[in-house]
Structure 1
């Protein structure tokens, strides 16, 4: 019972993709729209395979957890067509890989969501090796031309091995909690279809109550997770869920902290399911090792044992001479053919027989393997890629024997003690900074009685690593606070000399020294400029050439005017608003994929509330300004949506949309309400203004201006982490989940001391990660923007840039409102043109709204209604001149 499209006699295929019909009427796929049997799935796969034809062609598939995408994937494997699987939700990756590999067939949804098989040519333009079955991006290289070449045997062997050690059987039903284009998510699909098990095919997140409804309804027995998934499971109250059919949970895609492994192993033991911790790489199709569930609680640090059919060996490594320790090398039938850097590599055969994982592992007495480090000694320090071995060679050329080890934020250099210890340490530090470009503060030189060596006489780099937490001899700044911290009180020559000495590591700083004369470079220039602006409140033109004493002298009026004409600054909050609205619109149009702008704007909104409304004015005045700000958001929003109700007939907008209440209703489908951000912001503002109208709260805010918003932020974490488990019973709209971000921004504006700023920053860095599982870039954008908001009040800029930023920031609400109706009419011609027109249209609408609001005599500065928060300053203050 095989799928038998018209194939060339020598065509190779993946067996499990051709034998689907053998499972008959057993359920293959379960979706929210119904079920599909294996017989029905096989019929659809057969039709798609016939459509692909007998001539092998390179098929690019926009992967997604949908029936259409899965059918095309299986059809290509069954018909012997090499498949390039790309993330369907990343338009840029689809475009870049299409351009790089020139596929013969492109399969994916069109702009209307209909599945399309675009046959660009009848015969392949490429030489395709007979064994080539699948091309996948390596971990972390989505969209990169470098791909992993996998064979038919790789896919079949790995699926069989995974099915064997997990014990997958026909009664299992696994949920697709990971993307199809990700090798881990794909392995779930392969191993279940090979075993005749059911797939709960969904793109829903485990944070969505609809996912768990579908999982229970489908009698789900298993799901897979990466470390972020488990953070999300904590948030949704997974430990208290009733999942009667759950049999096991798998984890891979990165190291899960040992305590989390033990925690979930114990949870599974309590509730009757098993935890499989697994280890793999795309180069090995998916999996290379697994930790038997009965060992997880006792050995949570281990990756386990090789999968069936695979084996490990430990290749000795000079930096890791301990017994039973070395580079982990894997052998098995699931090892890739090799890499592809372009179409010319598609005709290559097998290039490797073993996979050097790059991980250092040890084999323990009980036969389990543990990963303890990495082979490569390269380190990325302050954004620079540093080769410690090269640093050692450079120092040897200068007559200095040293051992070097890189950490995340420092380079540790160990040198032997001499008769001139302090002079040697300074010389070594200067040699290193001059060679690799690191600022002196990032280079930690440790002078030791003798260099640590192993019994063999080789360097003991483990001992050098242990120096990372050891104070540096002879360096006062080792115990000093970071110079990036704000310095309270007046700043004089002594304080500035100390700042220069700390950042440039120069003990000979005097009031006559300048940044240039002390040997400052481009990296320390950035750090110094931020600290000087924070200390002085301004940065004089050519400050890097001026003596320290002149930095404290206000320039003459004419010179100040000339300087103001040459150098301008841009408020960080304005820059963030302008960039965020560009990121939001551009991501919606898919000209790029930079998410997180809307959530960053919520923090900026809280920041602006505190800056412009929570002043020393009396309570009534503050509340009046607060309600005016609400009106300046609500009125233009409702006016635009009312217009849409009159002129559109597509049913996308209704009364809940008009009254900014749509996101509070239980969603009917996967569609995210287009104006959820405005609805959430208005709801939060109304709640805050109402709260501050109470006399007791008003007094509390004046007495504890920083403590109150931090307390509100802590209360907001109840919904951010869903501590009460409300998401299991009711729909939690964004307005209920995101207020903690608004409160963080409020606290940032009221942080008046270094300690408070550090506390606000730490709160963001702790609470933002995990909010968007699997999207570290999105979380990084939010955290980076928040840190700028806290620590960098203004950014160097230019007049034209300031004017553009002022227009975008002041019109950000209107851009957000209107871009949904603008770009669909233009993006077919050019996505970038659609972005530009959307921004321009929103700015124009802002100008019209300004005239209308003046006519209606609405309070506040018309034309500067901000989507990013209340009470923002007029554009004239955006481009503030530095003096």
Structure 2
């Protein structure tokens, strides 16, 4: 066992355990143990178990009066030492070994009864699926009174591994100094731990002996799971996401690391020796969804509510988790909802009824509901909301920041006289804007404006991707968000609005010209549309912009269409993207057919390059739109198939690479010398952008870059054009952002947002100015911007109001 100043061998640990066991005597006793992550506590805990006593661990410094009064422990072990508390003889069942609280730190006397067999079976299962080695060294980042923290200790001791005992936080530099000095190979965290890790730039840390991280204690957002899995893939360690409960000793399921990248919303598979079943639920007709039941040797003996229950044997054979779940075709389980009234926060399981009871005892009549990943309290009786927040936070044992309080005249009730929790939840949601961290971040209004949604229907757990954002709305959103929030994280499209609100405020303007970052995809869209217009207007010829745009379109397809959302929502988003491109194009062609002779009826269905006429000098102008739309239609049909969707989720880069290989095969195949470079042969540009979006490692990016150079060899028979396209797409592959002057970023954002309408309209605009080509180019760009603004205003006026909150997808609702 390793600490800041001690190195205790297993032999020395065994001696200390034997000595403490003798201190407690031979008679079997109930021992309440205040815990710290130190050697003294570990020796006392193991000594009590070795002596055959029943241990009740509690956090040091907490209020344990209710538990002490209810169970009357014979011995209390705390900072003052070992003292006899009650001489009462307890009838303790022979199998009983450990008692753990079910309700975090709310002080509830309801305890979970665990046997020696529970502890051994769960420790062995965890050691097996984690592959714990005798050479591993695990840091104790969680309290020993918490089942997750204890499971780390049990499993590593069983495997003969070492423990780095510390109460330091992961935000403390001393923790990492200790971790490196003792060659730490693993540590465990709840979702809040991983949030802290992101704040301290964990990916940049030098941790040469780190083998894996484990996460449990509540649902972690799928995108955060994916980000840490990607970091681990780059740095050589694994991420195990786990699902469990105190009633299962600790763990019931784990997500194999390979799935953390492709199925981050799933809880995974049962642990060795355990199994799941689903009990049908009447509220989910027609769905293969039911309450998740767990079977295994680690299922608790049962609950204890008073001292007499400690004599009871096993009363539970199957654990009813209270979670609604389904098993997907790949064998993984997903959580889709909850049946009971608990929330998981900061690694604690908060009993909402218990919090209500504590508030009532304090004279506050209130209803408690889950609120996103937090707790909301609706209180009646003229109480101050701030005071209620503090009381509720104290009752739940969590920071005040995790509680949202609303003051009302009277509590909402049903006609039956029962609490109306649905209305309470709505009251909390409606009052949410008042607690936004900063006045300038009215993000739901901004999301509603850009995505043409009613802000009242947007939930704070929803992200840009959840709300149907795509490559066309991405530019407008990113530009406006940067003005509001400052520089954005690379993964902002997947971040919930709630997390975006928590970003640090924008820096004060500095007197530096190069003080703005711009996403490379945005810069390329702006540059490409300008090159397209100036080349067509014959101001000067720099060809290749449309092929760069096709690569950017594939890149955005990988980012915004192939997301972690459920298959049906994926296809719905893709269908919306296709409509945003196809419908305006068809409308414009219809208008042009009336006032010009530029197009044919085949253009109206975006099929001129396929149906002809082949001798027209003008009707092939829209080749880029035609190719893009039909590529997206074909892929939408493909990924509508469950098998294809499943394979892509599991192997995202490999699937993109296969399509890139197919595109290159077509590009070099028979007929590649025909004038078809603007139709099917151009698909490989789209596939290359798609592969670039899914390339999460240096090796993958190198492979995509090599494919680009191979594909460009002789493609245009024009070296300058090939170089231009190569430079643009290499930037897309390797540089997510570019530094530029602030005015350039603003102009580029406007031009990129208007690129589609500029492409559609410029053919009819620049000829109006004859030989005044500069004016014609400027007029074409301005016309595209004007049409974009007009369409945006029209969509805003026609924006539907659903009356239903749009939130993050339901899968992965709760991972414990």
| TM-score normalised by L of structure 1 | 0.41
| TM-score normalised by L of structure 2 | 0.44
Of structures 1 and 2, the one scoring higher in RCO (CA 8 A, sep 6+) is 2
